[in-house]
Every structure is written in C-alpha cells, then in structure tokens.
Amino acid sequence: MATVQQQQRKTQSPQLTRSMGQIVFRAEDGESRKRILSFSSETPVRRWFGAEILDHTEGAANLQRLNEVGVLLFNHDTSKVLGKVLRAWVENGRGMAEVEFDTDEEAEKIFQKVKSGTLKTTSVRASVESWEEVPVGKVSNDGRFKGPCSVAKKWTPMEISLVSVPADASVGVGRSQWGESCMGLYERQIQVNQNRQSIAQQ
C-alpha cells in the first residue's frame, strides 16, 4: 500500500516554491547591477506529512536550466522579468546565483528597493524529479536526515524570484507548496480529502 506521502505526491503539482529568509545581496562595487544571492538550502520545512528537505549534495540539483536560460522574476510572475541569472552553483549546502538586473523602469524600481534593503528575500520555483520518503524512526539512505521526512533527491530550479512576502520571514528557509500562497483553506482541504479517498480505494 502506498504511503500518505506517496499519495500526496501523486495529487499535487510536481513543482514547488521555497522562500529564503533574510538574504544578503552582495556586489563587487556599489554601482554594479550584479548581485550574488542565495536561493535554497537544506533546512527542513514542516508539512502535514512531515518535514520536506531539498538535497544539496553533489548532483542533486540540476542547475543547467538556470545557467543556460535562467531569469530573475518578481514574486514568481513570469510577466515581471527583472534580469538574468549569470551563473548558479551550490556552496556550503546552499543554492547560490549571480544575477544582473535589467535597466528598464520596472526592473530599476525593484533594484532600488534591493539596494535600500526594502526587498531582501528570494524564492525559487523548482521541479522535483525524485523523492526519498523516510519513515518515522528511520534515516535517509545517506544517513543525514531523520524521518519522517521527504527528501528531494533530484530537483531542477526553474527560476529565481525576489519576493515581497516570503513563506517564512524568519532567518533560514521557509517553503510553500507551489500555488499554496494563493490556495485557500477550502482548496487545501479538498486536496487532503482526495488523498484520503485515494488511499481508501486501494
């Protein structure tokens, strides 16, 4: 019989978003439109089924898309492109990227808010190709994570966003399921009911 986590994976979107806490944007000089930022980490996030974790070991994150065609958005709105991702990499268990802001009016407005410190949180939209479900009392195959938890072993960042209201504004990482920010309690309960019904039918 499939676990609750596995049933939940079947009914939810394969994409998720996760928001960083307080982020320091670094630039080589004050006039540069380039910034280095962090967009992900391995900090567990509590879900109704347990903790959710993004694996950052070598080969877990496929950064090819970000490095080839990556863009910087505002609040995950594909019509609000702020700039481009120059390069992306994993460093000390975090997803890192160097981005460059465009010079159009909308990008300039957001860039000034970044420079002033008004906007300082990021979020990444990712597609997860492979999950490892770790039961209660067990540990992940690499021995690093204790269950119950779901570990994204293979995942692809789709885009990076600056966000005005992160899922978790505290220091560290908070994540919200893709669409959860605009999904009301009613829709979320429907999803839970569907999961229960699928399990009962097995």
Q: Is the confidence at residue 56, as pLDDT, over 70?
A: yes
pLDDT at 196: 47
What local confidence, expressed as pLDDT, does residue 20 receive? 66
What single DSSP character describes residue 61? B
User: What phi-psi label fits residue 178: left (phi over 0), alpha (psi between -120 and 50 degrees) or beta?
Assistant: beta
Q: Which residues contact 97 (CB under 8 A, 6 or more apart)?
A: 36, 37, 39, 66, 70, 85, 86, 87, 88, 89, 160
Higher-confidence residue of 189 and 138: namely 138
pLDDT band at 100 (very low <50, low <70, confident <90, very high): very high
- pLDDT band for 43, please (50, 70, 90 cuts): confident
Tokens 């939940």 correspond to: 8
DSSP state of 72: E
Identity of the highest mean pLDDT range in 47-51, 73-77, 116-120: 73-77
| Calpha distance 40→55 (Å, rounded) | 10
pLDDT at 70 over 90: yes
Domain ranges of the chain: 4-200
pLDDT at 181: 35
